[in-house]
Structure 1
Amino acid sequence: MDIIWIVLAIVLLIVAATFFLFRIEDLSHLDDRDYPVRKSTPSEGHQQVLGQLRELREAAKDLKGKARLMALRQHMDTLSEGMELVSEFRHNEDPRGEWVIAPGVDTRRRVLYIHGGAWAAGSPRSHRTITDRFSRIANAAVFAVDYRLMPEYRFMDGVRDCQRAYSWLLDHGPEGRERASFVVVAGDSAGGSHTLSLLAWARDNGLRQADAAVALAPSTDLTLTAPSNRNNIPTDPLLGPVFGGLAKIPLPIIWWGTLAAFRVSPTNPVASPLRGSLANLPPTLIHASDTEMLLDNARRYAAKAQSEGSVVELHTWPGMVHVWHIFGDMLPEAEEAFEDIREFLADVEAGKSE
């Protein structure tokens, strides 16, 4: 009987600690806003992409732990191979990353690009399809930051690398010290979350704010409380097989696991920008697929930012794989997405000149 009371006391203590430590605000009211989805059907190229994803899962199914992570990193670094790239790729040691410079661009115009990969994979090399295209559509030099990854480094090490790269980019171009005339911060997935938290950090620390931001399928919230985090598991061919198992785990356990792995609470706005103030941010464009797990993360961020007075647009594609932009030449939808980004940046500049 004493053991039962001890166990019950421990359970109650854990429950109390969970709600005291995380104190997660219910953001379900943000799900009421309706965002239109483009009316189109996925192209034939999308089936080819899905086939590649199936081959990747098959090749990695017998790998565990570090071996599986290394295989993922190696695969991601091959994603841009064979694509038609026109830019010069120039390594930079401090801060670590690479310049991506399309022919004839104005290097006073700069894009900081923060790659995705669940904060544990990805690199400037893996995302060259995206950064090459960004340099062209933005008429800018792109700096793809090579931030430190988990688990070798802490989550906050990667955050600090992005912050440092942004501060440096304001006054340094590919040819040396030169003040930027136009600045964009962009990123995808995990890097999209870093992008959004970086905007708030720049605002709160009095730095020159970016002229615009672009987040491709950003995570925005590590609490995993958005409906699509579970509802879209069956329809997300990239994230579903990898993270779908989390649906079987109670959320409080996931929160504690996140705290242990990231050494940052999932409610911390640095890791979950949705949970912070979204006022006074630069014009931001978000892309998402209506079938991916992170759809409602994007919707909630857009709804909250708009309610706090920031200009945020959410454009949604039907049936696309998570961050379809990286598949470049294979998907006409990727070209449509980059044209949409180009038009957004042109509108931002037109608005500033009025």
Structure 2
Amino acid sequence: MSVILLEWYDAHAREMPWRTSPQARSAGVLPDPYAVWLSEIMLQQTTVATVKDYFIRFITRWPTVRDLAAAQDADVMAEWAGLGYYARARNLLKCARTVVTDHDGVFPADHDALLNLPGIGPYTAAAVSSIAFDLPHAVLDGNVERVMARLYDIHTPLPDAKPQLMIHAKALTPARRAGDYAQAVMDLGATICTPKSPACGICPWRDPCAARAAGTMADLPKKTPKKAKPVRHGTVYIGRRTDGAWLLETRPEKGLLGGMLGWPGSEWVDAALPHPQSAPPATGDWTENSGEVRHTFTHFHLILRVVTAQLPPGAEPAQGTFRPDNVFRPSDLPTVMRKAYDLVRSDATPHMTDSQSLL
């Protein structure tokens, strides 16, 4: 069966900025393990369409793992802003520096050694092992789970079905061209064996597919119902001095949005509790915005009230530091903090001068 899929992949492989085509690979062009690793970290819980531009910016600015390892933390976090799941960016730096210090700047061509690197779990280790080094390790992302569940008509709900799906994924992984096969089965799930309306008529595995024979493909994979996400509340303070400098803070390295640039604010507490009370980060005439910011994280929904003030030149903040306007880039903010900025900007009065308006 793997031969059939590889023949399909040779003709239909998706073009990716981090990918070595099957034709180039057969001609002796080897994948760059750094590019493979970087793309796999970025693609965790993130779509290919979203990742492409980020990947190109990263690989252009830091072309090698040594370049990334030498980068300033703040620069990397700023480039990652908007991609989400910010622990990935922190682990990205830790991993790059470990590869440089412990492996002389070369990713190890060994599955177990890859697993020992910061931020690399079983899936990423398998993906890098197979795609970069052509080692026969099975990958099992969401696309592959769907393909295996349908191919073998498995009705055990996810995540309980994962061990069973992995058994099948391993059995199908060939010893030869394991890297191309890994990308082929992921491409199959992304382009043909899609969550809704799978294109079974043009699928290279349509004949051996048990779910197609049973007519159950649209129902698979089954998933255990998710619990409702809780709602949390918080406050952010957007302050700007009359000279244009913005009051910002770098969030603690540990925790949500760790190491990212943001607006000073309160803790985020459960909606069932009283709204969190917090003092403004600097003395000023603070005014609550009429709107609110809503954002969804993996485990909860967040609602933020936004409070703004224009601050005097000599303001001394108790929280955060001032960043000159010519240094501050809204694109450096994570999405939830950028939403707060955009909310305030949308409410700015157009005819006011910079000295009269917050924005």
Task: Please state which band the TM-score falls in when normalised by the shorter chain.
Answer: under 0.3
User: Scaled by the length of structure 2, what TM-score is found?
Assistant: 0.21
Flag the structure with larger Rg.
Answer: 2
User: Scaled by the length of structure 1, what TM-score is found?
Assistant: 0.22
Greater per-residue helix proportion: 1
